[in-house]
Amino acid sequence: MAQDQVEWNWWSKETVAVVTGANKGIGFEIVRQLAKQGITVVLTARDTNRGERAVESLKCEGLHDNVNFHSLDVRSEQSALALAEWLRDTYGGIDILINNAAIASTEIGDTFEDAKSLLDTNYFGVKNVTKALLPLARNTPGGFRVVVVSSSVGQLKGLGNNNKYRKILSDRENITEDLVDDFVYKYLLEVENGTWKEGGWPDWTKLGQRFPLRTYSVSKLAVNAYVSALHNTFAAGRGRKLGQAVNVFSCCPGLVDTDLGFLGRPVPKKTPEQGADTPVWLALYCPKGGSGKFWSDRNEKEL
Ligand SMILES: NC(=O)c1ccc[n+]([C@@H]2O[C@H](COP(=O)([O-])OP(=O)(O)OC[C@H]3O[C@@H](n4cnc5c(N)ncnc54)[C@H](OP(=O)(O)O)[C@@H]3O)[C@@H](O)[C@H]2O)c1
């Protein structure tokens, strides 16, 4: 693909990237790869000890000068606003936001509380952090970049026979944040009422998963749609400063060997380094016309 939008290597030490859930796994590798490019990276984590240890572990590679830690629990508005204030005081603005944090553990059950907790992190957490940090968006060459690390289970096939939501979520030109919120709230209501099967939500447990992959899939369907909704808002000239470009991408890192609980199946997996490749590529290269879309292995994929 031709690199026809912005000069490659536009970034410098003054470029600031923020990565959520970055104390381990793919998030940590994203930090490492961006820092290797000479970019200043803010490694965030909900646990201060784990976050500071992660920065410390970059010392042996000489990357710790490029990397700063700040705590962030993506579910907390207060935590996101405290990070935003610190970023404003320390750097004045940011160029790249990578929403990577998510949960999916075999310890998570299938109750309403479990579903709500997962969606609070994987969907509302992404919205919370993006909303708090967008006012700090700089006029980065080629535009400010927001990347959401999502999953292929967030492609529309994850909806199974649920044709009502397929119609709403596939109409990407008209999708709005309110429609995506409505999708998530309706799902939660059906889980609470015990009617999700009648509601047409696919029963992923048939695939032999102990973890309720259905709610994880809903969370990734929602963030993929949110990315399109946010893109529509910016394309319409709302939510950004005059003349400023904002790009927003969602992507699947592939099946990656990390702590993410439900992936214990004996199938070939990517290394975290390989999993970080597409999110980092999107953040740096920012493919022309790619905003609002879903990516995997550096290629645009169908919804
Ligand atoms: N691994 C795969 O095969 C795969 C496939 C498709 C998509 N993904 C996606 O890739 C992303 C990274 O996953 P991973 O595989 O690297 O998993 P991981 O190793 O379990 O890392 C997840 C990270 O998210 C953090 N996190 C969880 N809740 C948080 C919160 N409330 N606030 C801030 N941070 C929080 C975790 O922090 P703690 O250490 O404190 O728990 C951890 O740093 C996720 O979005 C995941 O859905 C992964």
State the catalytic residues. 216
pLDDT score, position 208: 57
pLDDT score, position 64: 81
From 20, 75, 252, 260, give the residue whose CB has the most ligand 1 atoms within 8 Å, as the site to mutate: 260
pLDDT score, position 232: 96
Q: Ligand 1 centroid vs 36 CA: distance in angstroms?
A: 21
pLDDT score, position 1: 41
The protein residue whose alpha carbon is closest to atom 36 in ligand 1 is 21
**pTM of this prediction?**
0.96
pLDDT score, position 3: 45
Does 3.40.50.2000 match the CATH number of domain 16-107+123-155+224-301?
no
Domain definitions of the chain by residue range: 16-107+123-155+224-301
Atom of ligand 1 nearest to the CA of 122: 45
pLDDT score, position 243: 82
Q: Ligand 1 centroid vs 242 CA: distance in angstroms?
A: 34
From 33, 46, 221, give the residue whose CB has the most ligand 1 atoms within 8 Å, as the site to mutate: 46
Low-confidence residues in the chain, pLDDT < 70 = 1-7, 206-210, 261-266
Partner residues linked to 45 by β-bridges: 71
Atom of ligand 1 nearest to the CA of 73: 32
Q: Ligand 1 centroid vs 292 CA: distance in angstroms?
A: 22
Write the pLDDT tens digit of every residue in 200-216.
888 877 555 667 789 99
Q: Ligand 1 centroid vs 213 CA: distance in angstroms?
A: 15
Q: Distances from the Cα of 162 to the Cαs of 154, 197, 206, 252, 264, in angstroms?
A: 14, 10, 17, 22, 28
Write the pLDDT tens digit of every residue in 219-238.
999 999 999 999 999 999 89
